[in-house]
Each structure stands twice: as structure tokens, then as C-alpha cells.
Amino acid sequence: MKIGIVGLGLIGGSLAYDFRALGYTVLGVSRQPQACVDAVKLGAVDAASADLASLAPVDVVFICTPVSVIDAIATRLIPHLSSQAILTDVGSVKGSVVKVLTPLWPRFLGGHPMAGSEETGIHAAQSQLFASNPYILTPTAETPPDVIETMTALVDKLGCNLYRCSPTVHDRAVAWISHLPKMTSAALITACLSEADPEIVKLAQSFASSGFRDTSRVGGGNPELGCMMAQYNREELLRSLQQYRQSLDQLTDIIERSDWSSLKALLQQTQTERPKFL
Amino acid sequence: MKIGIVGLGLIGGSLAYDFRALGYTVLGVSRQPQACVDAVKLGAVDAASADLASLAPVDVVFICTPVSVIDAIATRLIPHLSSQAILTDVGSVKGSVVKVLTPLWPRFLGGHPMAGSEETGIHAAQSQLFASNPYILTPTAETPPDVIETMTALVDKLGCNLYRCSPTVHDRAVAWISHLPKMTSAALITACLSEADPEIVKLAQSFASSGFRDTSRVGGGNPELGCMMAQYNREELLRSLQQYRQSLDQLTDIIERSDWSSLKALLQQTQTERPKFL
């Protein structure tokens, strides 16, 4: 089997390493000439090119670009695909991607390998990045069964924990544990910045330690990532933000009423339930 | 100089180690007989007892108990103190403590050494726990100058970064970087628990990774600590919660309006400003 990878960054490069190690021929495409040279030199791919036509012989193509350009890439790629080729992506939102790509290529199946690192680029790519991590496939009622079968087998070979759910269910689940935390964490930083007294701000900056560091980490992370989450998972993110606001209001109300037994019960519940997410 | 430590847990025990290492005689008091035995055996204190009267000869007493019992301990301790003895505490809120203790003992000066660990008890105590960390003293207009001088010298000897501010300024600053994050983090967990669809909850639990782990850590931590923050720093915590809600509403509004350039600017600001708190 021949596998194509469009986008030779952290995710694309890491998938390439694993598929080559599994014995597949891997052809890479990147618009950056240097990434093509490096990917071949590093042994991530058998060959690489800037030309999407080079993927004509492949059986499965993984689009590993930012979510914002997946549809443009797919549109340019599709004329070169063989009729039985399977198309998939690795975007961290699925509803909007699946909605656009399914009509373009019926043998498309959305995917989301859940691993990463703060780093980017082909030099950050590594083998076994995805092993033991979740890999979600999001078939629709129209997805051909053989496409699901082939993709399931590939994900299994990567050593991932496979999950299968609808694009909407995926986007709702990741809104809770990834996109909502990004926004609540960002709001924590902007709230602190709203303090008008410079003495307080200076002291707060001096006193902040591990609690603030952890709670603010994703909110102070990559801005493009946050914009992507909001733009491409807007509806589910807004739904979780509305629910979060209710939770916050409930907690604030408890403190306003000095209802310490309710506060203790609430914090005992968060302490008990959090480990289920870890 | 003789130093007294009431409460032989993580904080009290760690202070005791450092003061003994500096050559002071350290007398400990704990209502737990085993903690007294252990503190002597471990070499944290020169002697320990359950009797507050044993602190009659000391020059400076550190009350290192939970905030909720500081006033009760002080009331029972004061009849045994020599007239020139200095009284201080290590509570993580200051306004309410200073308000109660100052009228009881004019030679009281509130303090807050900002270090800790998840562990508790005399066996978790360690030398140099506070070195290079902030130690805040919160004098009032009535605090005798020699009390401030003596305490400043002791904090310097511990190797701490000394800060001096009013109890209100202290409580406002720690509300931003410690008490508010505890509550926003707890609200994140309760929001996730509010999801009614069990499939989504199960997937969210499976997909959660480092972003959720960090953002939810303090919210899923010690419930008693959260109750203490809310109960003893209620006013400043509510002030920061109100401001946080405005920040959250602003962020939500930007997403509702699909105003991606504003969202990017906001997330670039949080990325730029966060390092100033680290």
C-alpha cells in the first residue's frame, strides 16, 4: 500500500515515520521545498515534492495541514487521485471539515489523532507519537464500509486507541476538554490584566506560582490554535461557554451567600470527578 | 533568640528546620502528641509540647495552623506571652486575620510565606522550603517599627524575597493569581459534568489530555483549601470573579460575532502578558 502525506509538519511527519516503519511506501507533499528535502533526508518519507500530482499512485492520502486550508488542498488534490483512493485528514475539528469534504470526495473519512507537542515542523516529528493515544474516526451514514475498514486497520497498526463517533459528537467532546479550557484560561489572564492598580498587578505577577502557571498555560498558548478552535467549532464552543457561565454563576452565588457547606460539596465533587478525565 | 512554632505541619515544621539551622532555639507546640514526638526526633525543634504555656520564654511565635483556628489559638496563647513577644502567622489570607489579631496583641504582624507542596504534616516538612520564594509581611499603621524590623531580618535570613504591603493589597493580589484560578478551574470541571449525553461525557473523559489536566488541576484539588479562600477572602474573591465574568462575556461575545481579528488580538495579548506572571 502507498500512503500520501500532504503537509510535512509535526503531525504529517510523525505519521510518515510510523507508516514507513510499518513497511508502506510514503510519498510526501509540502509547498515548502526545504521541508521536502528535510523529510527525505530524515527518512520520514520515500520521496517528497511540492506537486500534488505526485500523489496519483497512492491508496490513502492524509491531509495534515492546518484546518483552515484543508478544503483548498482537497479541491486541488482530488483531480489527481485514483478513483479508489481514500482521503482523510487530521484536523482537530471535524464537523465543518466533514461537511465540506464529503461532497467533494465520497471516499473521504475524517480523522483526528490526538497527540502533539508544543513544537512544530518536520524536525519536531517523531515515530510513535500517536501510539497509545486516542485516534478518532468520524464516519457518516454515507461513508463506504471499505473506507472505514481500511482506515480502522491503519489506525490499529499505529497502536492508537481507536474511537468512532459522528463529527458532531467529536466536536462536542473536544469542545469540553480542549476548546473550552483554552477560552476559560485566556479569560483568566485578561481578567488579571484588567486590574487597574499597578501595585496589585506587580504583586500578583510576583506571587503567581504553579497554580496560576497551570491554569493559564493553554490560555497563554498559540493564538492561531485558539482562533482555529473558535472559527471551526464555533457552535459547540459557544454551547460549552454558555454552560460554563452557568457553572461559574452558580459557584459565585454560593460564595455570595456564604454557603460554605454547598461550596465544600461542590469542591468535593470536582475533586472526585476530575480523575475520570485523566 | 528563641522562636516558637504553633502547628507542626508542613509550614511550621519547615520554618522550624530553617530557624534551627540558623542557630535559634525552636520550641514547638502541637495538639497532636505524635507530631511533637516526631518533630523532636526529626530534629525540627529543640523541644515540643501540647501546652501553649511552654512558649512563655520565646521572643517570636509563628502560628502555623489552618487560618480557621488562628484566632482561637492566639486567644489561648496570649496570656502566656512575655510583654515584648512578637506574634505572627503564616495564613494565606491576611485581611481577616490581621483585623482579628491586631486588637488582641499589638505586637502582631501578619505574614505569608508563599511556598508549599501537595503534602502535609511534619514528615513533609523540609529545610529551605521558603528560600527564593516570596514572603509577604502585612504591617498596618499601628504595627510597632521594631516588630517590622525583627520580622524583616528573620525573613531575610530565610533567604526569601520579602514583600511588604497592606493586608487588603495582599488579599487582592492573591485573589487574582490563586483564589480566582481555583474557582474558574472548579467551574470548568462542573461545566463538563453538566453534559447530559453520557456518550459525550465518556468520550470527553477519554480525549482529555495535558490541556485539560493543567487547567483543571487546582479546581480538582483540596476542597478545604478552596473553602478557606472563599470564606476568609470572600470580598476580594467575589471582586475578581465579577471581573472574570466580564472577561469571559467579552470573549464569548467576540466568538458569537465571529470577530476573528479581535479574538486573535486578545489571544496574542494573553500570550504576550502571561510570561510576566511566571
Tell me: do B24 and B129 sit in the same domain: yes
Is the per-residue pLDDT at A60 higher than 80?
Answer: yes
Mean pLDDT of A113-125: 86
Which residue, A105, A104, A103, A122, is CA-closest to A41?
A122
Mean pLDDT of B177-198: 97
Q: Inter-chain contact B264–A227, Cβ cutoff 8 Å?
A: yes
pLDDT of residue A62: 98
Residues 216-275 of B with CB under 8 A from A: 216-224, 226-227, 230-231, 234, 237-238, 240-252, 255-256, 258, 260, 263-264, 266-271, 273-275
Distance CA B246, CA B38 (A): 50
Mean pLDDT of A168-175: 98
CA distance B238 to chain A (A): 7
pLDDT of residue B185: 98
Distance CA B185, CA A216 (A): 10
CA distance A129 to chain B (A): 14
A94 touches chain B (CB under 8 A): no
A121 touches chain B (CB under 8 A): no
**HSE on the CB side for A265, CA within 13 Å?**
6
Tell me: do A55 and A178 sit in the same domain: no
Q: Inter-chain contact A200–B173, Cβ cutoff 8 Å?
A: yes
Assigned C-alpha cell, B237: 474573591
Is the per-residue pLDDT at A269 higher than 90?
Answer: yes
- In terms of CA atoms, which chain A residue is nearest residue B256? A238
Tell me: do A210 and A96 sit in the same domain: no
pLDDT tens column, A213-264: 999 999 999 999 999 999 999 999 999 999 999 999 999 999 999 999 999 9
- CATH number, domain containing residue A242: 1.10.3660.10
* pLDDT band at B1; cut points 50, 70, 90: very high
pLDDT of residue B117: 67
Tell me: do A46 and A128 sit in the same domain: yes
pLDDT of residue B115: 84
Question: Taking a C-beta distance cutoff of 8 angstroms, is the pair A120, A98 a contact?
Answer: no
Burial of B145 (0-12, 13-18, 19+ CB in 10 A): exposed
CA distance A72 to chain B (A): 20
CA distance B212 to chain A (A): 6
- CATH number, domain containing residue B74: 3.40.50.720
Distance CA A237, CA A229 (A): 8
B162 touches chain A (CB under 8 A): no
pLDDT of residue A70: 97
Tell me: do A125 and A67 sit in the same domain: yes
Tell me: do B99 and B177 sit in the same domain: no
Is the per-residue pLDDT at A116 higher than 90?
Answer: no
Q: Inter-chain contact B207–A173, Cβ cutoff 8 Å?
A: yes
Distance CA B154, CA B160 (A): 9
Is the per-residue pLDDT at A92 higher than 90?
Answer: yes
Is the per-residue pLDDT at A117 higher than 70?
Answer: no
Q: Inter-chain contact A244–B248, Cβ cutoff 8 Å?
A: yes
Question: Mean pLDDT, chain B, as a whole number?
Answer: 97
Please report residues of A whose CB lies closer than 8 A to that of B252.
183, 238, 241-242, 245
Tell me: do B13 and B101 sit in the same domain: yes
DSSP H or E segment with residue A112: strand A108-113
Asked which of B165, B197, B215 is the last residue of a domain, the reply is: B165
Q: Which of the residues A165, A166, A243, A270 would you substitute to probe the B interface, choosing the one with the greatest number of B C-beta atoms within 10 Å? A: A270
Which residue, A247, A231, A124, A133, is CA-closest to A182?
A231
pLDDT tens column, B34-70: 999 999 999 999 999 999 999 999 999 999 999 999 9
pLDDT tens column, A14-59: 999 999 999 999 999 999 999 999 999 999 999 999 999 999 999 9
pLDDT of residue A119: 79
Q: Which of A163, A220, A251 sits opposite B270 (nearest CB)?
A: A220
Please report residues of B whose CB lies closer than 8 A to that of A172.
195, 197, 200
Please report residues of A whose CB lies closer than 8 A to that of B235.
none
pLDDT of residue A120: 86
pLDDT of residue A52: 98
**What's the distance, CA A278 to chain centroid?**
18
Tell me: do B18 and B32 sit in the same domain: yes
pLDDT of residue B219: 97
Task: State in Å, rounded, how far the first CA of chain B is from the last one.
Answer: 36
Q: Considering its fold, how many domains does chain A have in total?
A: 2
pLDDT of residue B119: 79
Mean pLDDT of B253-274: 98
Question: Mean pLDDT, chain A, as a whole number?
Answer: 97
Structural domain of A102: 2-165
Q: Which of B163, B219, B251 sits opposite A206 (nearest CB)?
A: B163
Asked which of B140, B165, B190 is the last residue of a domain, the reply is: B165
> CB-based contacts of B278: which residues, under 8 Å, 6+ apart?
A208, A213
Which residue, A133, A220, A231, A238, is CA-closest to A176?
A238
Tell me: do B61 and B142 sit in the same domain: yes
Pairing of strands A134-138, A161-164: parallel
Asked which of B165, B187, B209 is the last residue of a domain, the reply is: B165
Tell me: do A229 and A142 sit in the same domain: no
Sheet holding B134-138, edge to edge: B47-49, B25-29, B2-6, B60-63, B86-89, B108-113, B134-138, B161-164
Tell me: do B61 and B178 sit in the same domain: no
Tell me: do B184 and B117 sit in the same domain: no
